[in-house]
Amino acid sequence: MTILLAEDDPVTLESLATCLQPEGFRVLRARDGQEALTLWQKHKPDILCLDIMMPGTDGYEVCRRVRAADATVPILFLSAKSEEIDVVVGLRLGADDFVRKPFGKHELIARIGSALRRTQAATSSVVSFQLGPLRVFPAELRAQRGADSMDLTPREVSILKLLHERVGQVLSRDTLLDVCWGLDYMPESRTLDQHIAKLRKKIERESEEIIETVRGVGYRWRGQG
């Protein structure tokens, strides 16, 4: 299993590598965004962990370019930037997770493991399933609506799959977080809402509600049409 670490601080970079190598990862080290892109293109790592503030090409741009070519590989931001807008920008660019510095070794390993498991689960499930006007193709990380096709992230596929499997049921926030984020990971309180909002923009048309909000409880797909 190969992991790409992009971090402009050499001490932090080596500390992260030392933390992950005993876990069985082959670690690729990048000291700036351009080196990260070069290593990604050459080695196609299984997961990327990116700092945001790097000289030249920053982590956001690395994420954008990687996502344009590969919708599957898990991408985590490791950053001291902690404002909600920073998290939102990262998620909208296609990142799977946003880990705020400082963080502990066990938290980082848990989040990397969760991201890898989500990707494997999303791409190895059923051939397709229907949610109202949407036909979702998990292995292809996409949904089809008439002639329109839209790309999905592994976590978005997991969310839609859970809603489909439990049609008509109200899924609590805890249930969605446990299944789609992992039992060993406690995300920020707004993470789920941000992912749902982004997903809705992709799959819902004006005045349509495929994913219904049940205030104070969670979310539901009623199963219509």
Domains and CATH numbers, the chain: 2-122 (3.40.50.2300), 127-220 (1.10.10.10)
Give the per-residue pLDDT at 130: 92
Order of strands across the sheet that contains 148-151: 129-131, 134-137, 142-145, 148-151
The pLDDT tens digits for 128-173 are: 899 989 999 887 888 999 899 998 888 888 899 999 989 999 999 8
For the chain, the average pLDDT equals 87
Model pLDDT, residue 210: 92
The label of the residue with tokens 């920008």 reads: 89
Structure-model confidence comparison of residues 179 and 132, the more confident one: 132
> What is the predicted pLDDT for the residue at 121?
67
- For residues 219 and 225, what is the distance between their CA atoms, to the nearest angstrom? 18
Q: What is the pLDDT of residue 125?
A: 55
Q: What is the pLDDT of residue 12?
A: 93
In the predicted structure, residue 51 carries a pLDDT above the cut 70: yes
User: Which amino acid, one-letter code, is at 109?
Assistant: I
Which single residue is written with the structure tokens 């892109």? 37
Confidence of residue 116 (pLDDT cuts 50, 70, 90): confident
Q: Between residues 122 and 176, which one has the greater pLDDT?
A: 176
Which residues, other chains included, contact 99 with Cβ-Cβ below 8 Å and sequence gap of 6+?
A: 76, 77, 78, 79, 107, 108, 111
Tokens of 80: 């001291």
What is the strand order of the sheet 2-6 is part of?
26-30, 2-6, 47-50, 75-79, 97-100
Which is it for the CA torsion 65, 66, 70, 75, positive or negative?
negative
Provide the 3-class DSSP secondary structure of residue 131.
Answer: strand
Angstrom CA distances, 169 to 162, 204, 217, stand at: 10, 20, 11
Six-digit token string for 171: 């899924």
CA pair distance 183, 214, nearest whole angstrom: 23
Sheet of 218-220: strand order equals 171-172, 218-220, 212-214
Tens-place pLDDT, residues 69-98: 888 899 999 988 767 788 788 888 888 888
